[in-house]
């Protein structure tokens, strides 16, 4: 989460995280983080999300008058899946495969400009165009499912799809790539499946609280507040995994 300091316009960032089923006051927690960043009651704010129903509902409850945007990063991830299928179609039938890849590119262009109805129409067109590959493309069924899933994703989030191109030209946020890197920074190896570690919800929740306080440089301050009489200099844990 990034805001700007009004005094010197220097960007600052703070992290927060919680396990949803254990956090009893998530709205208050988010408000406190925003308030600490200097958020004013009449200040414009934009929420970006991956379209998750629960997250969107939480954001709308937090600030219904804010700008709510479907993250371009997550939208393009779904489009990338179609591009990969398109490469397979080209190997089956070069000319028709390239034609379908071109239609996928035009679909992405429509979404980039916030033209939802045109994008849905292009999905309809793609569904008709891939029909001849039913017998010869081994991943045909998965391609059909991917197109159907994309349609559902767009329909469910159409109110959150802006003109990304215009926002980008205006210097406004359109994607949460920086959030993804923050998630990796916070979670790190502690939740990595390769570590073969199992976490309870309570344990994961507590670890997240400790981790974000460490990364934000507040863990030592908290310990000193808890134990003011301790003759001990609390050292911050290293931010690296």
Q: Per-residue pLDDT tens for 141-190?
A: 999 999 999 999 999 999 999 999 999 999 988 887 655 555 555 566 55
Instruction: Note whether 95 and 156 are same-domain residues.
Output: yes
pLDDT at position 8 is 41
Please tell me the distance from the alpha carbon of residue 225 to that of residue 237, in angstroms, as a whole number.
17
Does residue 194 or residue 102 have the better pLDDT? 102
Which of residues 134, 160, 186 is at a domain's end? 160
Q: What is the pLDDT of residues 93-107, one digit of tens each?
A: 888 888 888 999 999
Residue 14: pLDDT band by 50, 70, 90 thresholds?
low
- Let me know if residue 15 belongs to a domain: yes
Domain assignment of residue 201, given as a range = 2-39+176-226
Mean pLDDT of the region 21-48: 71
- Let me know if residue 58 belongs to a domain: no
Q: What total number of domains does the chain contain?
A: 2
Highest mean pLDDT among 88-97, 112-121, 127-136: 112-121
Q: What is the DSSP string of 22-50?
A: T-S-HHHHHHHHHHHTT--TT---EEEE-
Within 8 A by CB and 6+ apart from 172, the residues are 46
Residue 112: pLDDT band by 50, 70, 90 thresholds?
very high
Point out which residues pair with 166 in neighbouring strands: none
Instruction: Note whether 155 and 183 are same-domain residues.
Output: no
- Let me know if residue 64 belongs to a domain: no
pLDDT above 60 (res 212) = yes
- Let me know if residue 54 belongs to a domain: no
Q: By the 8 A CB rule, do 208 and 186 touch?
A: yes
pLDDT at position 16 is 65
pLDDT at position 136 is 86
pLDDT above 50 (res 3) = no
pLDDT above 50 (res 5) = no
pLDDT above 70 (res 196) = no
Q: pTM for the whole thing?
A: 0.65
């Amino acid at each position: 989460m990034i805001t700007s300091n009004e005094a010197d316009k220097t960007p600052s960032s703070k992290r927060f995280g919680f396990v949803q089923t254990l956090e009893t006051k998530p709205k208050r927690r988010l408000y406190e983080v925003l308030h600490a960043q200097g958020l004013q009651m009449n200040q414009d704010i934009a929420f970006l999300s991956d379209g998750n129903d629960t997250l969107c509902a939480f954001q709308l409850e937090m600030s219904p008058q804010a700008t709510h945007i479907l993250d371009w990063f997550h939208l393009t991830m779904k489009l990338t899946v179609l591009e990969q299928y398109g490469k397979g179609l080209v190997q089956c039938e070069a000319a028709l495969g390239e034609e379908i890849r071109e239609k996928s590119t035009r679909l992405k262009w429509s979404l980039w400009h916030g033209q939802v109805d045109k994008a849905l129409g292009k999905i309809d067109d793609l569904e008709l165009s891939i029909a001849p590959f039913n017998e010869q493309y081994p991943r045909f069924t998965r391609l059909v499912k991917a197109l159907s899933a994309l349609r559902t994703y767009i329909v469910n989030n159409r109110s959150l799809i802006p003109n990304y191109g215009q926002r980008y030209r205006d210097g406004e946020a359109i994607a949460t790539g920086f959030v993804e890197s923050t998630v990796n920074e916070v979670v790190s190896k502690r939740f990595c499946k390769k570590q073969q570690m199992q976490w309870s919800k309570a344990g994961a929740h507590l670890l997240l609280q400790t981790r974000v306080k460490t990364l934000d440089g507040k863990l030592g301050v908290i310990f000193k507040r808890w134990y003011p009489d301790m003759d001990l200099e609390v050292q911050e844990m290293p931010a690296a995994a």
